[in-house]
Homo-oligomer: A and B are copies of this chain.
Amino acid sequence: MRITGTFLDEITFDIPSNNWGPEEWDADFRAMKAMGIRRVILIRCASSFWMTYPSKVLPRYGIRHRPPLDLIDLFLSLAEKYEMEMFIGTCHGVDKNCGAGWTADDFRREIEFNKEIIAEIQALYGHRKAFTGWYLTHEVRANDPGVVNLFVEQGTFSKKVSGNKPTLISPYFAGVKAAEACGEQDLTVLTVEAHARHWDAVFSEIAGSVDIVAFQDGHVNYDELTAYLEVTRRLADKYGILCWSNVESFDRDMPWRFPPIAWEKFLWKLESAEAAGIKEGITFEFSHFMSPNSQYKSAGNLFNRYCQYFNIPARARDYRFEG
């Protein structure tokens, strides 16, 4: 079980920007490649006031920001240069900040403008070689009202307009760390069994619209992780959905949100996914939490620990860009 993909966290949302330009991003893709990453996943193309590309749809929803740089174009170009796949994320929260308490009505509005966004992205970047699939950006945890529809409608639409490009989602376990992470004090923790009931129902409906699922692995206790992952992987198999793990490279146990994770924890989670029969890992995310160029020095050290452990002949010092 290795990390073969990473999210790209722009629009950065609750994680401080690295403030990189094209040169720094190029250096970072080079470092990703050295570590074995072959796909990048743009986590969202826009969120509330900010956007990654010069959308003509979003201004119609009252958003006045214009990005100084087309990040989707930049990331596609770098993915092409380094022979990677790129999944492009949809738009999140055009009229409501993310977090707890989304209703089916909220999701309906998200679907509506996202159809326009998806069509626009297809028109602008559909011809690009590295554009491999779609990331449906909304993060959910259970069979809550509107969830199935959210993924069925966006998944079906994005596949239809793009010649059936695969779609990916990354939900989270409603585990013991979920309530605090979501700021939702009354969140019901789902046991492994309850989780299985919810996702059996969801997977049965979204199969065909969603091709790959990669659960975030950070909301349950370390010694429960294999059990949650294994039942998820079995259910995904049952419905023909490919199951990866989103091996989070940030640490959820620290007093501030978020530093790079301790190597011991990251290794434990990799081994847990392997024990659950999962074959590939993606991570949220390389550039802040595993990169030699991260603003956090311990990220470059995590890169080294990972490479040394798996006998990958790369060292952080050879991938640093001095800006």
Contacts and interface: CB of A to CB of B under 8 A. Distances in A.
Interface of A: 12, 14-21, 24, 49-50, 64-65, 67-68, 221-223, 251, 254-264, 267-268, 294-302, 304-305, 308-309, 315-317, 322-323
Contact of A268 (B65, B258, B316, B317): B65
A14 B255 contact: yes
Contact of A302 (B19, B64, B299, B308): B19
Contacts of A222: 49, 65
Contacts of A297: 18, 294-295
Nearest to A290: B19
Contacts of A317: 322-323
Contact of A323 (B251, B258, B261, B304): B304
Contacts of A251: 16-17
B260 A257 contact: no
Counting chain B CB atoms within 10 Å of each CB, the highest count among A16, A49, A304 belongs to A16
A323 B295 contact: no
B259 A16 contact: yes
Contact of A255 (B256, B301, B315, B316): B256
B19 A223 contact: no
Copies of this chain, tallied across the complex: 3
A296 B18 CA distance: 9
18 contacts: A16-B254, A16-B259, A16-B262, A18-B301, A19-B263, A19-B298, A19-B301, A19-B305, A21-B301, A24-B301, A49-B221, A65-B222, A67-B264, A68-B263, A255-B256, A256-B257, A295-B297, A295-B298
Contacts of A68: 263-264, 267, 309
A49 to B, nearest CB: 5
Contacts of A16: 251, 254, 259-260, 262, 298
Given A16-B259, A308-B21, A264 B65 contact: yes
Contacts of A223: 49, 64
A237 to B, nearest CB: 26
A285 to B, nearest CB: 15
B257 A50 contact: no
Counting chain B CB atoms within 10 Å of each CB, the highest count among A12, A65, A298 belongs to A298
A281 B30 CA distance: 37
Contact of A18 (B64, B221, B298): B298
A90 to B, nearest CB: 20
B12 A262 contact: yes
A221 to B, nearest CB: 8
B309 A323 contact: no
A301 B15 contact: no
Nearest to A288: B298
B260 A14 contact: no
Nearest to A22: B308
